[in-house]
Amino acid sequence: MATIEWRSPASEMAVQQFDMAAAKLGLDANVAARLRRPDRAMIVSIPTRMDDGKVHVFTGYRVQHNDVLGPFKGGIRYHPEVNLGEVSALAMWMTWKCSLVGLPLGGAKGGVACDPAELSRQELQSMTRRYTAEILNFIGPEVDVPAPDMGTNEQVMAWIMDTYSQHKGHAVPEIVTGKPVAIGGTLGRREATGRGVVYMIIEAAKHLGIDLSSCTTAVQGFGNVGSVVAKELAAIGVKVIAVSDRSGGFYDAQGLPVERLLEEAADNNHSLEGCSYGEKITNQELLELNCDILVPAALEMQITKDNAARLQCRILAEGANGPTTLDADAVLKEKNVFLIPDVLANAGGVVVSYFEWVQDLQNFFWTEEEVNKKLRDILVKAFHEVLNMSQKQKVDMRLAALMIGIDRVARAMLWRGLYA
């Protein structure tokens, strides 16, 4: 991933994280060389007829990092700043994430450079179906199973599933996860990532001896992940003092009414713009608020060497992928901030995606209670494995998590050998 094709701040950060973990593990040099690069990276053109009759050509990506443990797995994001480097970094992180929590899956990621908020439903559907057609020969239930990510949802997944199924001539619900329950989705999937973040915060609080009912939290990002985190934390007594989305944030030291915020956002195209509660603040100001728990659940690289010293949280739970740079990690370690790294904190989404895939393959579905219990069991086990590694090796939680995930992949590669 050091080659120019994949070079971006995110991909360089992902490789630097890998190199640090590989050095600590004493990883086989040949395996390390292989894992720095994705197995496959695709750039596709997506010609789409817009509502005005003109054809706009979007650019789409699908990067498959490693499948030594099982089929590729990873979301598809729609965002104006999607690029090959970002998608490559996200695919690499997915490999470590799946390995860390013990899933028989590899890492992939996809995306389209677009602003879904500016597209009509018909334009969004047409673009999604053409994107699916362009990558159709590279995905499949035993090959690569996409899922939702930033800017996509269960409707987008339904269109992907239908397009793939039409080409195959029969329904293939197991081609994607994060679908509506009516066509093979699983109960608990939409809330899974945010719910998993909360499970990890609960375990961190137990470890630190913190009473969550007396804690405050600030959540950057009020989308599918951040909104669930805010709602679930409020339900267990944590005071939510600030939330934000791309339109900005809102702050109230006495606590915000999360349920009302959710209602307002739902009525305003899932945006906090024009919110009638709290004081208006910027996304950067939110990160620096005095709070016990900070949850960055938006874009990557939000916490940097420029603002890390001003963070005032005790627990940093990364709901987003890659929100903290390496320079910031060093600062936060000095400040004794307890970090729950992204590959652990937000792994709930891929865990329940795995549950959905398994249920589709066997045509047997679980209750939401069963899904949530299995999710919690897997994440709590992973949390304590990472904590034990951190204490044993005297490294931070991120490096510990990466070491566990990378080591499992490396061992599998050595067992399987090199086909040449």
Spell out the domain ranges in the chain.
Answer: 38-171, 190-345
Token readout for 155 is 């409707």
Please indicate whether the domains covering 38-171 and 190-345 agree at the CATH topology level.
Answer: yes
Mapping DSSP onto H, E and C, the string for 337-374 reads: CEEECHHHHCCHHHHHHHHHHHHHHHCCCCCHHHHHHH
CA dihedral 405, 301, 1, 58 (to 10 degrees): 120
Token readout for 242 is 């600030």
Token readout for 145 is 């199973």
| DSSP E strand stretches across 183-231 | 216-220
pLDDT at 420: 64
Selection from 342, 305, 351, 337 nearest residue 321 by Cα: 342
pLDDT at 4: 55
- Any residues with CB less than 8 A from the CB of 369 and at least 6 apart, and which? none
- Distance (Å, rounded) from C-alpha 405 to C-alpha 189? 23
Q: Which residues pair with 106 in a beta bridge?
A: 72
For the segment(s) 38-171, the CATH number from 3.90.550.10, 3.40.50.970, 3.40.50.720, 3.40.50.10860 is 3.40.50.10860
* CATH level 3 topology of 190-345: Rossmann fold (3.40.50)
pLDDT at 1: 42
Token readout for 2 is 């050091």
- Distance (Å, rounded) from C-alpha 98 to C-alpha 95? 5
* Cα 383 to the center of its chain, rounded Å: 17
The pLDDT tens digits for 169-187 are 999 999 999 999 999 999 9
* Cα 228 to the center of its chain, rounded Å: 14
Q: Which residues pair with 257 in a beta bridge?
A: none
**Reduced to 3 states, what is the DSSP secondary structure of residue 320?**
coil
Residues with catalytic function: 109
The pLDDT tens digits for 135-157 are 999 999 999 999 999 999 999 99
Alpha-carbon dihedral sign for residues 115, 116, 122, 128:
positive
CA separation (Å) from 356 to 64, 183, 385?
20, 11, 25
For residue 284, give the H/E element and its range: helix 283-287
Report the largest interatomic distance among the alpha carbons of the chain, rounded to a whole angstrom. Answer: 63
- Any residues with CB less than 8 A from the CB of 263 and at least 6 apart, and which? none
Question: In the chain, which residues have pLDDT < 50?
Answer: 1-2
Q: Which residues pair with 315 in a beta bridge?
A: 293, 338
CB atoms within 10 A of CB 182: 8
- Distance (Å, rounded) from C-alpha 250 to C-alpha 148? 27
Selection from 290, 278, 200, 293 nearest residue 244 by Cα: 278
| pTM for the whole structure | 0.94
58 within 8 A of 87, measured Cβ to Cβ:
no
- Distance (Å, rounded) from C-alpha 53 to C-alpha 122? 12
